[in-house]
Structure 1
């Protein structure tokens, strides 16, 4: 050990940490979200002169959530860097969201030295075994010379097939060891293109339909694929619908989607899992004589569909969703005229729940959503973040043509402040509005300090009903209104004051007055700070859109 410390060196030798950062830069990484710790300080040193931005957070889960939102908004891989032990453990839960949202996230974690394996080293644990069930790929770096190749494999895997999170553990002695040879790095992902014969089979399948639907998964959301879905819809003359909510066919942002799925005669699942969100391909999916086709990157997903619908599955093709879409568009010629069906689909998807007729002491979530919708419309390209249970579902119903990041299929809540910070850094020239419930807000409220320190600018609108309302509604629905307990939150909680104390701006809206809320939103936007609008709302169950199916069910 030198007088300057364990890691003091001449910076002429390329160490494992240097190679790691050089390779990340070669992969297009421009921002890393991190919480510091002993084993990763060599990486911090390597970042210093790299040109990569380091965003230092207050909780490891926030780093992963920020990486998730960053990836969705920029197209880059999102990178989270955490330390070993509890730091790594804190980050794991957030990977579940990235896996469900099909987002390429790289979790880098410090690790105990390989040279001390089996000796009871500080924070020694089998990180790979812990990460493997919730990632596409997890490994532990072997040597400094092998680190670039292992990193390349991780990044390529995150982007290939169905995108998702990967994990690379970084033993500290690998980070501090010199490379003996030049680093070789190629993170080009494998691509499974759609075979020409399969593309022709899909087109033949679609062309025989009168009421076809195409359902795509979260990785194909408009925020991530630009105009690709519109191109496919135009090429097929068929509605193309992205599903990214745990409410599946009853996603409030998709209106009366279930009316369409129950009436469709041909359904193509393009990268969309045949899981609970599609009703397991049961009675709500397709008319009685409906036929199906599926394109998925995994054989296991094709097998799942076969097991569910058997001989009703006409085409099953293994390919990556976006390349398959492009191949279908390029091969499409003259799709049948389905103007009436397209119009019916547009009308059904545009339906929203109605504002209850009875008056209340506080604003209803619909009114909060309307105010946010008006605010977003003022600035094209604004980013909308939605997070939370019942309130979050109301907010997902906001009509918004710009980028959107939601808490996704996993059903996890709490990422909202982290998503908003990443969105502000990724999209600094447009407003960012994050709508979240008061239960959600409590998870990462301390990240307001991160936002103020990093110059992130956003407005968080907290729908405050003093409840864990999703669970409260379950108690009412399943056990009775007289059996509700344990799900209340403090009526004295002032999230706006907390945001102000952490360096942001806060305003409180306690009146049943939409104009007061609009004024508060204007103040928040004008503040130039990470802002919190804490608005009291009435507790409301998640929205139910009154389409044809809902009306029919209500009469039986």
Structure 2
């Protein structure tokens, strides 16, 4: 029966619906049953997972693909503790996730309440803000604050704990939430500083704009593309723990080392940039930075010293938009100036003509050099060794990663909104090097593994009409294998490719490199038939031991109309390091 009373849970769910939330990723539990009940009347879809961390990973992928806040809902105590670990991946990916956790009643705290825990304290180090709701009539304000905080500045996760007595209490007169309180509060950069930055970029011979995860979301990539077209400066996004050695970026490290002017647009100076030290960046490179976090600007000042020529407070999107506005203003001024010169030439004779023609020639030469640099950067990023096209495994009944992935690219190319999900250690790097798609969700700068299956489920929910291809390692599969049950229950077909080399290959490669092949330990796994695991959950499975089987396997997986697992017995190779020459 529909509820007739107006509880805190009803107010909470109505406020989420008013904010545009139509999907929540969740796992049931005692503390959050009032919210489940309220969702039945609000029409909010619950994607019910098999582990609380999976719910957070799904909310993370949803946020990256939609540009909206992803909401995860878990129960209190151990449910909350299970969810917290996944916040690290979301935080490093700068993903606007709101984790809502049930909580012991306020009126029982300190008395030994069921699953009592200092939940807000536990989540605090991995979130932008973390608190426990205190009043029923303030729940809408809590939600608005959580959403705005998650979206503003450098995006990231927020946690709110929801005591059961706050959820069950009747609502009197809920406090009104100001219009716009749910939205991001932009950190808008100073236009004068942006104008100076643009001038420096345009006067440089080899400029680059580096962005972080906030501009690598589905909508963020569109902003980056527009910025590159507007400024004429290569815009390169970085979201991999391999940093300048990210195989997705090909031989980009060579170009970064040559850059004479680099703008960090929401891109942290961290290990992914070798902390800004040579040879990753040239010793005499000019650096500029736009960042919403004062601590990030301070860190860059300490690292670069006098090489940091300009800084500006601003979020990544506002910074990109401000730079494009500066381009429009500068170009408008150039047009006016050119018109004045043309007018003077028409009335002032040959000297004026000579100056105008000379200026134009200089501009053409500058444009040619800029185009050459853009093309060189693009070519470096696109570069892949020619030998990959014919690579074969060096052991029997195993598949070389490059050979395994060729048919997957055909599937990804079949739809303009196809989504590529990548997770895992060495196999993840091979996938990022070999595959591309309009939209991509990877485990990110956190370098964590285990998120691929939940990511793929959420991607199928967020982009329902497009193929979703997830590539993961056999180690990764073990974290959230039961999410095949979620995908089957929810009717979410996807193609999951498991690179099965029967070991934790990233760690194995470290041990071989640092200690020798005779001192590897603790990296062995069984050559499990993960396709059969998927089939046991009601999905489709196929096993591949030869690259010639891959085309048919992909077609069979897609044709099944089910969540499908292609178990590829893979040669356990180290991740590729791409260099030219």
TM over 0.5: yes
d(CA) in 2 for partners of 1:28 and 1:110? 22
CA contact (8 A) 1:261 1:284 kept: no
The farther-off stretch of 286-295 and 46-55 is: 286-295
d(CA) in 2 for partners of 1:43 and 1:265? 55
d(CA) in 1 for partners of 2:422 and 2:392? 26
Tell me, yes or no, if structure 1 residue 505 matches structure 2 residue 537: no
Residue in 2 aligned with 1:398?
434
CA contact (8 A) 2:102 2:162 kept: yes
Q: Structure 1: which 5+ residue stretches go unaligned?
A: 1-7, 552-556
Per-residue Cα deviation, 1:431-483 (whole angstroms, up to 9, x for no partner): 11100011111110011111100011101000000010000000001101111
Tell me, yes or no, if structure 1 residue 45 matches structure 2 residue 37: yes
C-alpha distance 115-357 of structure 1, shift in aligned 2 (>3 A)? closer
d(CA) in 1 for partners of 2:281 and 2:483? 45
Alignment of 1:103-502 (within 5 A): 103-185=95-177, 186-221=181-216, 223-332=218-327, 333-334=330-331, 336-337=366-367, 338-353=370-385, 354-355=387-388, 359-361=394-396, 362-491=398-527, 493-502=528-537
Structure (1 or 2) with the larger CA radius of gyration:
2
Secondary structure of the equivalent of 2:422? strand
Hey, which of these two has a bigger chunk of helix by percent? 2
d(CA) in 1 for partners of 2:416 and 2:185? 35
Per-residue Cα deviation, 1:118-168 (whole angstroms, up to 9, x for no partner): 111011111111010000010000010111111111110000000000000
d(CA) in 2 for partners of 1:87 and 1:222? 28
d(CA) in 2 for partners of 1:408 and 1:359? 30
Q: Please give the root-mean-square deviation of Cα atoms over the aligned residues, in Å.
A: 1.5
Instruction: Give the drift of 1:428.
Output: 1.1
CA contact (8 A) 2:212 2:238 kept: yes
The farther-off stretch of 345-354 and 523-532 is: 345-354
Instruction: Give structure 1 regions of 4+ aligned residues with deviation exceeding 4 angstroms.
Output: none
CA contact (8 A) 2:394 2:571 kept: no
CA contact (8 A) 1:20 1:148 kept: yes
d(CA) in 2 for partners of 1:165 and 1:501? 34
d(CA) in 2 for partners of 1:358 and 1:365? 8
CA contact (8 A) 2:453 2:481 kept: yes
Tell me, yes or no, if structure 1 residue 533 matches structure 2 residue 540: no
CA contact (8 A) 1:267 1:286 kept: no
d(CA) in 2 for partners of 1:526 and 1:108? 38
Tell me, yes or no, if structure 1 residue 91 matches structure 2 residue 79: no
Aligned residue pairs, count: 537
Per-residue Cα deviation, 1:15-35 (whole angstroms, up to 9, x for no partner): 110111111111111100111
Instruction: Give the drift of 1:358.
Output: 7.0
Residue in 2 aligned with 1:524?
557
Per-residue Cα deviation, 1:159-192 (whole angstroms, up to 9, x for no partner): 0000000000000000001121034233122111
CA contact (8 A) 1:222 1:228 kept: no
Alignment of 1:8-27 (within 5 A): 11-27=3-19
CA contact (8 A) 2:227 2:324 kept: yes
Q: Structure 2: which 5+ residue stretches go unaligned?
A: 332-362
d(CA) in 2 for partners of 1:95 and 1:156? 18
Instruction: Give the drift of 1:222.
Output: 5.4
d(CA) in 2 for partners of 1:147 and 1:317? 35
d(CA) in 2 for partners of 1:526 and 1:357? 27
CA contact (8 A) 1:386 1:395 kept: yes
